Chains A and B, each alone.
Chain A
Amino acid sequence: NAGVTQTPKFRVLKTGQSMTLLCAQDMNHEYMYWYRQDPGMGLRLIHYSVGEGTTAKGEVPDGYNVSRLKKQNFLLGLESAAPSQTSVYFCASTNPVGGLNEQFFGPGTRLTVL
């Protein structure tokens, strides 16, 4: 099993450009999440999904959109990139069991917006 994979691994954008980050998981997990990681701020939840066809806003959703057309994929879109979106983006997935939520993380995408 590959677990959680993310593409691309690195990307440099100019302000105003758009891009889509792809997350894929092969563990048949229902729940998927997108986080951003910034120095000294830990991980902040951008959007999440509790099943195919569903999405919901997290803590810092502005400037991002998501889609979950297939259970195994969760896409994060930036329509008009801004320098404040320079960050490392992580995808995670899980099937919570009895309140225990072990999230499995991808390797991350490092995005720089100039």
Chain B
Amino acid sequence: GEDVEQSLFLSVREGDSSVINCTYTDSSSTYLYWYKQEPGAGLQLLTYIFSNMDMKQDQRLTVLLNKKDKHLSLRIADTQTGDSAIYFCAESRGGTSYGKLTFGQGTILTVHP
């Protein structure tokens, strides 16, 4: 079955880089996603990567995908206090999956001044 795992907590100092890791088990994943949830709010898509790519950069965000090890990471450069949130990785498959996403447990990122 499908399974997505993340570590639950990460604490960094303002200005440092943050790296959030995720592992998944479904080798038929077509896209992998990073969502951000701020306190008291819903989830918002931060970025995504197609499964045949190994890296994607978007401003302060870098996504790395190691398909062989089924490992996904999100690096946030120059982390700010406004980046404090819960970060979820998720995966989807094409075909008849009806757009369903499988989410990890979420990593709570705390940024200290």
Chain B, 1-17, CB within 8 A of any chain A CB? 4, 8
Q: Is A79 an interface residue (CB 8 A)?
A: no
Q: Determine if A99 and B94 form an interchain contact, defined as CB atoms under 8 angstroms apart.
A: yes
A: contact size bracket: 20 to 34
Q: Determine if A90 and B88 form an interchain contact, defined as CB atoms under 8 angstroms apart.
A: no
Q: Determine if A33 and B100 form an interchain contact, defined as CB atoms under 8 angstroms apart.
A: yes
Contacts of A102 in B (CB 8 A): 33, 45, 48
Q: How far does the alpha carbon of A43 sit from the alpha carbon of B102 in the complex, in Å?
A: 8
Contacts of B99 in A (CB 8 A): 31, 33, 50, 94, 96, 101, 103
Instruction: Look across to chain B and name the residue whose beta carbon is closest to the beta carbon of A96.
Output: B99
Q: Determine if B41 and A108 form an interchain contact, defined as CB atoms under 8 angstroms apart.
A: yes
Chain B, 53-106, CB within 8 A of any chain A CB? 88, 92-94, 98-101, 103-106
Contacts of B104 in A (CB 8 A): 42
Contacts of B93 in A (CB 8 A): 99
- Check A40/B105 contact, CB under 8 A, given A99-B92, A103-B99: yes
Q: Is A74 an interface residue (CB 8 A)?
A: no
- Check A43/B98 contact, CB under 8 A, given A102-B45, A107-B41: no
Contacts of B42 in A (CB 8 A): 4, 90, 92, 105-108
Q: Determine if B41 and A41 form an interchain contact, defined as CB atoms under 8 angstroms apart.
A: no
Interchain Cβ contacts under 8 Å between A and B, 28 examples: A31-B98, A31-B99, A33-B100, A41-B105, A42-B4, A42-B105, A42-B106, A43-B103, A45-B100, A45-B101, A50-B98, A56-B98, A92-B43, A99-B30, A99-B31, A99-B92, A99-B94, A100-B31, A101-B92, A101-B100, A103-B43, A103-B99, A105-B42, A105-B44, A106-B42, A107-B40, A107-B41, A108-B42
- B: residues with CB less than 8 A from A are 4, 8, 30-31, 33, 40-45, 48, 50, 88, 92-94, 98-101, 103-106
- A: residues with CB less than 8 A from B are 4, 31, 33, 40-45, 48, 50, 56, 58, 90, 92, 94, 96, 98-103, 105-108
